[in-house]
């Protein structure tokens, strides 16, 4: 039996889902999903400033030349704290990159709780939608920011915005939202998970700033891979056993580093209280990471969780050959595919496990 908050989340997601026109996922096109840029005025309280050069370079030198569709899944501007003219003036280069995608018909902007007024104003410059709904071989991919699950946001968004403008801005306090509240973060993810599993769809969200791949966070993914490799080890022989041992050593080191980092500590218990985890929720993460940013790519029937980082700040993924970090031209920026799986396999598991 669902409580009041869960009932609201399910019904609101159902409303958005039904009101979103379905369109086919073009197998010949490539898609990239970014969320939670929180662009401000370039000052100390502007979270986008830290990775702005990395983000702009990835668009200009990888995603535009690669003919990707760019999906911006909410909270692009931090309008709860900064004026739109001020944001657009400071980040004119970024907006010109958006315009280049828009001119060729490959920009899709979705609304978040921090740029909600753009959709309410019906400003034709942005063409913001509430969600995207793709069909793929009879299956459904649902892209939505995720704040729609919150009864609190729906009732108090104006008061939240006012507090940010009058209190946080003058004190130059950065925006500590749901991403810094583990209880709210898990509640939002669990609500999207239950909705997606019930409908047997794949949902892509943002909002929490935390990457998820196949409903698993990073530490869950590492543990799952270690378990799978241990099962493979007993049947492997010779060089394959050596490769598995090396892979497990690297994964154990990754897990130790992750759990020791206070910025990435994860709760140990099962997030979804499920005996069989359904791989129905993905989260592209955010552009505000300390060392880099994450996104999701869809290409040739495959989903990828991608990490972009600045080698001047972190050398971690350059130390391991298995990650195959690729440099972006002469810049100190690198792209790494952290996780990938075929959409056919993902949807097969959703159908069988949900």
Number of H helices, E strands in the chain: 10, 12
pLDDT at 157: 54
Q: Return the SS3 of 294.
A: strand
Looking at the domain 4-217+268-353, which fold is it? Purple Acid Phosphatase; chain A, domain 2 (3.60.21)
Q: How far is CA 130 from CA 116, 142, 230, 277, in A?
A: 9, 11, 43, 27
Burial class (CB in 10 A: 0-12, 13-18, 19+), 90: buried
Angle at 296 between CA 295 and CA 299, to 5 degrees: 140
pLDDT at 259: 73
Q: Are 328 and 64 in contact (CB under 8 A)?
A: no
CB crowding 168-185: b at 16 or more within 10 Å, else e = bbeeeeebebbbeeeebb
DSSP for residue 21: P
Name the percent of the chain lying above pLDDT 70: 84
pLDDT at 225: 78
Tally of CA atoms within 13 A in the half-sphere of 315 that contains its CB: 2
Q: What is the C-alpha to C-alpha distance for residues 279 and 193, in angstroms, rounded to an integer?
A: 9
Domain positions in the chain are 4-217+268-353, 219-265
Q: pTM for the whole thing?
A: 0.86
Q: What is the C-alpha to C-alpha distance for residues 190 and 192, in angstroms, rounded to an integer?
A: 6
- Is the pLDDT at 264 greater than 60, yes or no? no
- Is the pLDDT at 267 greater than 50, yes or no? no
């Amino acid at each position: 039996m669902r409580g009041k908050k869960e009932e609201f989340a399910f019904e609101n997601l159902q409303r958005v889902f039904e009101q979103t026109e379905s369109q086919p996922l073009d197998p010949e096109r490539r898609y990239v999903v970014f969320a939670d840029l929180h662009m401000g005025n370039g000052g100390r309280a502007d979270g986008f400033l830290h990775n702005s050069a990395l983000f702009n370079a990835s668009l200009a030198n990888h995603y535009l030349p690669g003919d990707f569709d760019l999906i911006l899944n909410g909270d692009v501007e931090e309008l709860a704290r900064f004026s739109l003219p001020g944001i657009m003036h400071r980040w004119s280069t970024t907006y010109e990159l958006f315009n280049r995608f828009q001119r060729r018909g490959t920009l899709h902007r979705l609304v978040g709780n921090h740029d909600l007024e753009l959709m309410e104003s019906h400003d034709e410059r942005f063409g913001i939608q509430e969600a995207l709904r793709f069909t793929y071989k009879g299956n459904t991919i649902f892209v939505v920011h995720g704040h729609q699950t919150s009864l609190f946001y729906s009732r108090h968004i104006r008061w939240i915005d006012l507090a940010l403008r009058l209190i946080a801005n003058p004190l130059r306090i950065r925006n500590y939202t749901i991403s810094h509240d583990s209880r709210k973060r898990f509640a939002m993810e669990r609500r999207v998970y239950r909705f997606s599993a019930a409908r047997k769809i794949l949902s892509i969200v943002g909002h929490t700033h935390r990457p998820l791949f196949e409903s698993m966070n990073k530490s869950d993914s590492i543990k799952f891979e270690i378990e799978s490799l241990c099962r493979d080890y007993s049947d492997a022989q010779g060089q394959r056993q050596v490769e598995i041992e090396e892979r497990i050593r690297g994964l154990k080191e990754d897990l130790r580093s992750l759990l020791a980092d206070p910025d990435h500590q994860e709760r140990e218990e099962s997030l979804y209280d499920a005996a069989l985890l359904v791989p129905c929720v993905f989260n592209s993460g955010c552009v505000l990471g300390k060392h880099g940013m994450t996104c999701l790519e869809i290409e040739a029937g495959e989903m990828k969780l991608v990490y972009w980082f600045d080698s001047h700040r972190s050398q971690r993924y350059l130390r391991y050959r298995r990650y195959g970090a690729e440099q972006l031209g002469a810049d100190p920026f690198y792209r790494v595919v952290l996780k990938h799986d075929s959409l056919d396999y993902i949807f097969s598991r959703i159908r069988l496990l949900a």
